[in-house]
């Protein structure tokens, strides 16, 4: 379970993922993000699912070059706004 401090909208992992997605505008799938951030894929997948439910990331079916079809995630404007708010 992810615990957030009072007034905090993003966990530390959420914040890392959003920063990565903002800097990689083409997006990425959970496995690619997990490799880039050196985190467990299950942790990344759970965080992406929660952020998609909140509208911070968008999911799209598709394939990246050389990979099988997977859900590709991209930061939404709402995600970018909450990231900016929390990082100052």
pLDDT (tens digit per residue) in 10-67: 888 999 999 999 999 888 888 899 999 999 999 999 999 999 999 999 998 765 566 6
Task: Tell me the pLDDT tens digit for each residue of 62-81.
Answer: 655 666 677 889 999 999 99
Instruction: Give domain limits for the chain.
Output: 12-87
Could you tell me if 72 and 64 are in contact, meaning their C-beta atoms sit under 8 angstroms apart? Answer: yes
Range 12-87 classified under CATH 3.30.160.270: no
SS3 per-residue string spanning 13-31: HHHHHHHHHHHCCCCECHH
User: What is the reported pTM?
Assistant: 0.82
């Amino acid at each position: 379970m992810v615990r957030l401090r009072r007034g905090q909208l993003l966990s530390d992992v959420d914040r890392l993922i959003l920063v990565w997605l903002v800097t990689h505008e083409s997006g990425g799938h959970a496995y690619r993000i997990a490799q880039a951030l050196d985190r467990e894929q299950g942790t990344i997948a759970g965080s992406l699912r929660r952020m998609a439910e909140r509208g911070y990331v968008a999911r799209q079916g598709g394939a990246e070059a050389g990979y099988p079809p997977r859900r590709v995630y991209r930061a939404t404007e709402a995600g970018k706004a909450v990231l900016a708010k929390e990082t100052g």
